[in-house]
Amino acid sequence: MKIKNPLLKTVVGCVGLGSAAYMLASPIISHKRHSHKCKDQLPEVAAKTSGTLFSIQEQSTDLFSNASQRFLITYRSRGIHSEPIVSSGFILLPKGKAPKGGWPVLAWAHGTTGVADTCAPSGDYVGGPVHAYQQLAANPLNAWLACGYAVVAPDYQGLGTPGGHPYMNAQSQLHSVVDAVRAIHLLKPYQFSKNWYVMGHSQGGAATLMVAAYGQKDAPEFNLRGAMAVAPGGYQYEGIAKYAASHPQIEKSVIAFLPIVLLGAEAAEPSLDIMNLLSPEMGEIVNRARNRGLSELQASVQEAPKTVFKPDANLNPLIDYSKKQSIENMIPTVPVMIIQGDKDQIVDPHGTYAYYQQICKMGKPIAFQPVEGADHHGSLSQSEFMVADFINSIEHKQFKSTCGKE
């Protein structure tokens, strides 16, 4: 596809991923992650409306057997403070002819992959750092495609595009998802319905709950129908820092996530100066996380450091920031289904259930679907079998809350 607008050529050059992974997926995009031209183009990016498409590149449908076409996109989005940014993602179109009024849309919010540029799911390739996760996520997305839904999957702010990734920042994730929905409606010559759903896993589960709370208000031109949150992270999010500070020997399973949490917080609030809080051992692990995916980081950490923070570290600013990102702050305005494995070692099932009970007490439409024997990835695997029933319950006005029925 030729890029006719000269602005788009510059923007595409500015949003390069800086990784071989993304170059393989999209040879259009430059490997130079940062360019002095990017700053010069910000006023022009700012002049564009949210969702404006800057580049489109057709990709192989690969894992998505129910997709007729797949496109890599870059689009105008908003950062934490609504500042103009360029984001990336991919679009999947279902097979067959679009119905009258266009295909309805599913926005997919992916789980934790890391903070490095190689962690952008739209740049996935066989053997890449996020390929195993993409194989897992492909199943529920194929279920949505089979139901006639077009899928748009944002990478999130800073994953594959300039700037750091503010991991788990609620406002940033809301903007990434909502503006991706705007972007898919500008993919010509295809037609899309104004009706849309959101689904996400882990980090994306938290993003889904944020969208369920504020998505309709943020994008009133569309009709948000419902949300599926699978093993949503972020309940009492400040607890991660507290746990690391209070436990002399933290679990190895936690140690790979902690650098992503810390780097994400610093990307959102540079004044936190994370490296100044850390022990030398932990500082080394955090630096590794800057250019490695979650799976690579997990493989590289042989043992947890004896201490995470310096003895005199003031964690109050980090804790205060983290509290603001917690899912307890997200009160849905549309029907929500929560899917949670009872053997999850990453997201505490008790925390997920506590959030569910909180929303029940508020009288909001919410259903809790436990998955017996499922771990963190098992709940995502099982979610594909719940997609069609969830859609039907909403579209036929038969959605039933499970509050008080467990």
* pLDDT at residue 249 in the model: 77
- The residues spanned by each domain of the chain are 6-235+330-395, 239-324
Whether the CB-CB separation of 195 and 104 falls below 8 Å is answered with yes
- Spell out the residues 6+ positions from residue 249 whose beta carbon is closer than 8 angstroms to its own: 304, 306
What architecture is the 239-324 domain classified under in CATH? Answer: Orthogonal Bundle (1.10)
pLDDT in single tens digits along all 406 residues of the chain: 333 333 333 333 333 333 323 322 333 333 233 333 344 445 578 778 999 999 999 999 999 999 999 999 999 999 999 999 999 999 999 999 999 999 999 999 999 999 998 899 999 888 888 999 999 999 999 999 999 999 999 999 999 898 999 999 999 999 999 999 999 999 999 999 999 999 999 999 999 999 999 999 999 999 999 999 999 999 999 999 998 988 877 887 788 899 999 999 999 999 999 999 999 999 999 999 998 989 888 888 888 888 999 999 999 999 999 999 999 999 999 999 999 999 999 999 999 999 999 999 999 999 999 999 999 999 999 999 999 999 999 999 999 999 987 6
Q: What is the pLDDT of residue 256?
A: 86
Would 6-235+330-395 and 239-324 be classified into the same CATH topology? no
Q: DSSP character for 98?
A: P
Residues β-bridged to residue 59: 70
Strands 192-201 and 84-94, how do they pair? unpaired
Cβ partners under 8 Å of residue 300, min gap 6: 288, 292
Are 129 and 121 contacting, i.e. CB atoms less than 8 angstroms apart? Answer: no
Q: Is residue 307 within 8 Å of residue 279, measured between CB atoms?
A: yes
Superfamily of domain 6-235+330-395: Alpha/Beta hydrolase fold, catalytic domain (3.40.50.1820)
Provide the token pair at 258: 């902690």
